Every structure is written in C-alpha cells, then in structure tokens.
Chain A
Amino acid sequence: MANRRVLVQRRKAVRNIHKITRTMQMIANARFQAAYKRAVASKPYTEKLAKLVEDLAKAAKGIDHPLMREPEEGGVALVMVITSTRGLCGGYNGNILRLAGEHIRGLEEKGEQFELHMVGKKGVTYLKFAGWPMDREITDIGEVPRFDQVEPLANEMMERFIKGEIRSVDVAYMNFVSTGKQIPVVERLLPLSGLEPEIEEEASAEAEVQYEFSPDPTELLNELLPATVRIALFQAFSDAVVSEQVARMVAMTAATEAAEDIIKRLTQQYNRARQTAITMELLDIVGGANALS
C-alpha cells in the first residue's frame, strides 16, 4: 500500500518538473528567435564593413596600421571568455571553458604571460571554484548585448594593444553556425589579419570602382579598422547569446522528453502495483469464503 502512495507522489513531482522544463524550453525558443533576429540584423553592417575595408586596402595600395602589426617582445596575451549568465543550458558553458582552458594551457606551456577576462556569471563561478585567477570579471552584459556595452571593451583593448601592454587578444565563445550546429572557437581579434587584398590584379582591375574618397583612403582605413574590431567583438557576443539559447532549447527538450519517459514508467509501475494489490485482496476474500464453506 505504502509503495503505491510513494509512486503517486513521485509521479506528481516528475509532472511538475516536466511542466517547468517544457515552459523553459518554450521560453528559450522565443528568446532564441529574438536573439537570432538580432544576430542576423548585424550581418549587413559586418559584410558592408568588410567590403569597404577590402576596397580601401586596394585603393590605399596595402595597409599598414598599428592594429595589424605583430607585436615585438613584451606585453601579455589577453584572453576573453564569453559564457552565460544563467545555467540549465546543457554543455554550453562546459564546452567553452574546456576549449578556453586548453588555449590557456597552451599559452602557459609557451611560457607566455596572459590576462584572463571572464564574461558571464557561470564562467566566473566556475573559475572561482577551480581556483584560477581572473584579471577581470564582466557580469553586467545580459541576454541582450547592446553595442554601447561592447564598444568600450573593444576600445580599451585596442588602446592597450597600441600601447604595447597586450600583445594579442583572443576571444573564446560559442560560434553559431546554424540551429543544428554551434562550435566553441577561440578567435583572434588582435592583431588584425586576413585583410590583405588578394593579388589577382588582372581579373579585378577593370571591375574596380573609382571612388571619391573623403578623407583619403589611408585616413579612412584608420577609422575603419577599429570599427571592424568593435563589430567583431560585438558579433562574438551576439553569437554567444544565440548559441546559448539554442543550447538551452536542446537541453530543455531533452529534459522534457526524459520527464515524459519517467512519467510513463511510473504510471506503469503504479498500475502494476494497484493490480497486484487488487489480486491480493481478491485472493484474500476468496480464501476467506472458501474457509467458511
């Protein structure tokens, strides 16, 4: 008898959890849609900017900018790790932290000095638990990263890079490839690379547009390059948010399904227990009746 009551109670508890995980799944879904829309909204800006840099690099006959120079000796390597503020998102934070850990160990092996900037409460708590020193904790950027929140971070990085205080900037975050695929990556933000125009002069020479530049191309580039760094960092932040919501959606879907399975199993167990009890009672009654006659 007692066994049945326990089963009913457990089933009730699992049903409650099921309700919660399903709600969280739906919330994550809605947030994902919103975050995805925002991430896509910044694509035109990024693409246009990249195109302009390429055009200008051609017009300016190559680029030489302090942000692109490989630093000489000295300075520390800055590593920024973007994690989430909230949990319950499956392996999301674990994957990023593992990759970031590998990267940092690589730096340590090379004997390089590094500085660790942690974004997101989950990562901060993890590192505190693991006893790793952090140079900076950033926990005020929420689920909707705004450009004016990210901009000062990027500006500070560039300033310190130019001064030679830091020799490189790497950002570890979850890259959003598609809804079905997100991969943790460590992206090099500074020094800037990959901006050299490809040498295929014959093909592109005739198609090239003769722009009117104001001010001249070199000066425009000086303005454009910092803008690309800022947008790259912003993109990392918004990608991270989208990936986080996807991870939460997947985790919560799995949790909801698991809860459904458990409910089914508990119901079966309960029914069996009930049936056994009824059979026992019947046997009792029949046995009693037989004894009387």
Chain B
Amino acid sequence: MASSEIFHCSVVTPERAVLECEAKFVALPAWDGEVGILKGRAPLLCKLGIGRLRIETAAGTQVLFVDGGFAEMLDNRLTILTEDARAPEELDRQAASANLDAARGLTVTDDASFEARQKALQRARTQLRLAE
C-alpha cells in the first residue's frame, strides 16, 4: 500500500534542481498559510510565501527553506518553483541574525516599504529558526 501512496516532488530554482524525490506527504508554505499535499490532490496552483517546506519521503523527512515562488500540483507531480531553496545546513545563522537586525532598522514610510520590511523580517526570522 505504502508504495502506491507516493507522488513525485521536485524543487527547482533558477540555479539548480534542488530536489527530485518520491514523497508521501508535503507541507508547503503557501502565501496565506501552510498547505498539505497528499497523493491524488486536485490540480493546484498557488503562490508561496517565505517559510519551511517539509517533505516526507520513505527515507525520512526533509526540510527546506523556501523564499517565495510557486507550487503546482498536477497529475501527482508536485513542482515547486522558487528563487531560493536551501537546506537548514546551508543557512548561515550569523548572516541571518545580521539580516534580522538590518531589517529591524528599516524605516517605513509607505505601504511598499512596510511590506518590504515585513518580508525581510520574516525571511530573517525563518532562516534563524531553521538554522537552529
């Protein structure tokens, strides 16, 4: 039974194909909250936020940091397009905390700068949390 419940999952960035695997379950950091994906899900196209991507495979669970992008689920193939995807080991804790400080120092004058600040804060916080 177990083998029939897997689906294909690939994570690609402009620079490389980060991951190609058969997954049992994937939790996506969508723009408005987490989305869980199992085999046989209806076609989905959604925008991703900044957060943690969790992929459960037969070999264990894998976690990636994802910085925005898109996810498409179609015919039991999940494709995640993102501009930055990194494993926790690849994250730099010090750089992340420096970025967090820098983000805190940003001044907000209008909606756009507020959004930019929020994004930078979230990016730094997520990286920090995952780097631990």
User: Which of B44, B81, B83 interacts with A211 by CB under 8 Å?
Assistant: B44
Per-residue interface assignment for chain A, residues 199 to 233, with 1 indicating a CB less than 8 Å from any chain B CB and 0 otherwise? 00000000001111111000110011001001100
The answer to whether residues A214 and B70 also contact, given A42-B14, A45-B14, A48-B81 and a CB cut-off of 8 A, is no
Question: Is the pair B43, A212 in contact by a Cβ cutoff of 8 Å?
Answer: yes
The answer to whether residues A214 and B14 also contact, given A49-B81, A220-B70 and a CB cut-off of 8 A, is no
Question: Is the pair B74, A209 in contact by a Cβ cutoff of 8 Å?
Answer: yes
Per-residue interface assignment for chain B, residues 52 to 83, with 1 indicating a CB less than 8 Å from any chain A CB and 0 otherwise? 00000000000000000110101000010101
The answer to whether residues A220 and B15 also contact, given A214-B30, A230-B83 and a CB cut-off of 8 A, is no
Residue from the set A42, A45, A48, A230 with the largest chain B CB neighbour count within 10 Å: A45
Residues of B within 8 A of A212 (CB): 42-46
Question: Is the pair A42, B15 in contact by a Cβ cutoff of 8 Å?
Answer: yes
Distance of B35 from chain A, by nearest CB (Å): 8
Distance of B123 from chain A, by nearest CB (Å): 12
Distance of B9 from chain A, by nearest CB (Å): 14
Question: Is the pair A146, B81 in contact by a Cβ cutoff of 8 Å?
Answer: no
Question: Is the pair A223, B43 in contact by a Cβ cutoff of 8 Å?
Answer: no
Kindly state the separation between the CA atoms of A214 and B44 in the bound complex, as whole angstroms. 8
Kindly state the separation between the CA atoms of A146 and B14 in the bound complex, as whole angstroms. 9
Q: Does A186 contact B (CB under 8 A)?
A: no
Kindly state the separation between the CA atoms of A148 and B42 in the bound complex, as whole angstroms. 33
User: Which of B12, B30, B35, B83 interacts with A48 by CB under 8 Å?
Assistant: B12
Closest chain B residue, CB of each to CB of A147 = B14
Question: Is the pair B70, A45 in contact by a Cβ cutoff of 8 Å?
Answer: no
Question: Is the pair A44, B45 in contact by a Cβ cutoff of 8 Å?
Answer: no
Q: Does A15 contact B (CB under 8 A)?
A: no
Closest chain A residue, CB of each to CB of B31 = A215
Question: Is the pair B15, A210 in contact by a Cβ cutoff of 8 Å?
Answer: no
Per-residue interface assignment for chain B, residues 29 to 57, with 1 indicating a CB less than 8 Å from any chain A CB and 0 otherwise? 01110010000001111110000000000
Kindly state the separation between the CA atoms of A58 and B128 in the bound complex, as whole angstroms. 40
Distance of A119 from chain B, by nearest CB (Å): 17
User: Which of A42, A148, A210 interacts with B43 by CB under 8 Å?
Assistant: A210
Residues of A within 8 A of B72 (CB): 48, 52
Per-residue interface assignment for chain B, residues 69 to 108, with 1 indicating a CB less than 8 Å from any chain A CB and 0 otherwise? 1101010000101011000000000000000000000000
Residues of B within 8 A of A214 (CB): 30-32, 35, 44-47
Residues of B within 8 A of A45 (CB): 12-14, 81
Kindly state the separation between the CA atoms of A42 and B47 in the bound complex, as whole angstroms. 20
Question: Is the pair A56, B14 in contact by a Cβ cutoff of 8 Å?
Answer: no
Residues of B within 8 A of A55 (CB): 45
Distance of A214 from chain B, by nearest CB (Å): 4
8 Å CB interface, A30-65 against B: 38, 41-42, 44-46, 48-49, 52, 55-56
**What residues make up the interface of A, taking CB atoms closer than 8 Å to B?**
38, 41-42, 44-46, 48-49, 52, 55-56, 146-148, 151, 209-215, 219-220, 223-224, 227, 230-231, 234
Other contacts beyond A52-B70, A212-B45, A220-B70: 8, CB < 8 A: A41-B16, A45-B13, A52-B81, A55-B45, A146-B15, A211-B44, A214-B30, A227-B83
**What residues make up the interface of B, taking CB atoms closer than 8 Å to A?**
10, 12-17, 30-32, 35, 42-47, 69-70, 72, 74, 79, 81, 83-84
